[in-house]
Amino acid sequence: MAAITAAETFSDASITILEKNKTVLNKVRISGGGRCNVTHKPSDLRFFIKNYPRGEKLLRKLLHNFDAQATVDWFEKRGVSLKTEVDGRMFPVSDSSHTIIECFLKTARKLNINIRTSTVVKSYSSNSENGFSVNLDNGESLQADKLLIATGGYPKLSSFDWISEHDIVTPQPSLFTFNTPNNYLLPLAGVSVQDVLVKINGTKYEWRGPLLITHWGFSGPAVLKLSAWGARDLAEKTYQFICKINWVPDLNEQQVREFLIGEKTKTPKQLITSHAKFGIPSRLWKAFADQAEVSEGSIWSEVSHKILNRMTELLTNSQFEVNGKTTFKEEFVTCGGVSLSDINYETLESLKTPGLFFAGEVLDVDGITGGFNFQNAWTTGYVVGKEIGK
């Protein structure tokens, strides 16, 4: 995006992309399960930036230059239509990430952008007269007036050594599911609940949305979004904390208790375990009833208030011990990277090395799952492309 925008903005610039892999855009290829979740449905900027646990302030500025609607238009202009799914994620109509890759490659070819693959950058040096020397691992040294580093996120701090004149915020995973090894719900793996409220005990983090029970714990949008917001604090807790779940988030404890007590007169003869309430999946309801020690064959008129209190607690304030995390579908999204305090917020130029720019996930910016990380890459790439040839 940066190279194309620069080529379109500064027609006499000579632009080279250096890529260590055999092909460019490998993450695009595997993204979104091979479909590439290109961006998220355009919305008011105030709401859109709420999807960035880190980098909100920077993107509030930059999205004015290139937002989700601009992304949609950019691809449309180059022959790629995007479609929106019910949850707001946007994909190419073809449902194939190859469409996105082809679009970039075709445009780059047309603009005579030089792409050198299997080319590993080891280091760079700069001086005010000659610009940059970019040193490759094969010993070769290239000259450039300006340099953009868009190397993506690195999971290890040491991988940033070659840009270490900049402050680096230690990278941490920011998209993961919760492991709950002693969870009585694990046999229900595969059961999902459309709307729950998940909170992390002792923190401000909470998220409402769908939740999936897995073989090892909890996943689904509510958990993945919490993992992004809490990434740094949860790493500090070495992924050991209590998560609390309200399975009926529209109701509070008292309302749930009153409802359950009401069933004693409304449906006195009904078997408790076999008639799930509140739209809870029947297997999950049965697990709650077992956990509350509702005896098999028990009917509502017979159930004690003590048991109803236990059911109320389970439904509104279930507590699970989280011990560890699991990467979500091989998506190694990291938070951390080049500190935004070292960057000019208007241009993305380094405040320490004039002529050097940063874009994409290498910056300490990350979004929650749903297309926001690519939008960060497109936006910051575009902004650098508009600036770098000045």
Ligand X SMILES: Cc1cc2nc3c(=O)[nH]c(=O)nc-3n(C[C@H](O)[C@H](O)[C@H](O)COP(=O)(O)OP(=O)(O)OC[C@H]3O[C@@H](n4cnc5c(N)ncnc54)[C@H](O)[C@@H]3O)c2cc1C
Binding site for ligand X (CB under 6 A): 18-21, 26-27, 30-32, 36-37, 120-121, 150-152, 330-333, 360-362, 371-374, 377
Nearest approach, Cβ of residue 16 and ligand X (Å): 11
* CB burial of residue 191 (10 Å; 0-12, 13-18, 19+): middle
H-state helical runs in 52-175: 56-62, 68-77, 97-110
User: Which region, left, alpha or beta, applies to residue 301 given φ > 0 means left and ψ of -120 to 50 means alpha?
Assistant: alpha
Closer residue to ligand X, CB minimum distance, 55 or 243: 55
Nearest approach, Cβ of residue 268 and ligand X (Å): 51
CA geometry: angle at 40 spanning 110 and 236, to 5°? Answer: 110
Closer residue to ligand X, CB minimum distance, 80 or 315: 80
Q: Distance between the two ends of the chain, CA-based, in angstroms? A: 17
Nearest approach, Cβ of residue 322 and ligand X (Å): 23
Question: How far is Cα 277 from Cα 265, in angstroms, rounded to an integer?
Answer: 15
Nearest approach, Cβ of residue 192 and ligand X (Å): 20
**DSSP letter, residue 90:** E
Rg (CA), the chain: 25
Closer residue to ligand X, CB minimum distance, 174 or 318: 174
- Residue 89: name the closest of 338, 372, 370 by CA: 370
Nearest approach, Cβ of residue 37 and ligand X (Å): 3
Closer residue to ligand X, CB minimum distance, 121 or 284: 121
Closer residue to ligand X, CB minimum distance, 331 or 342: 331
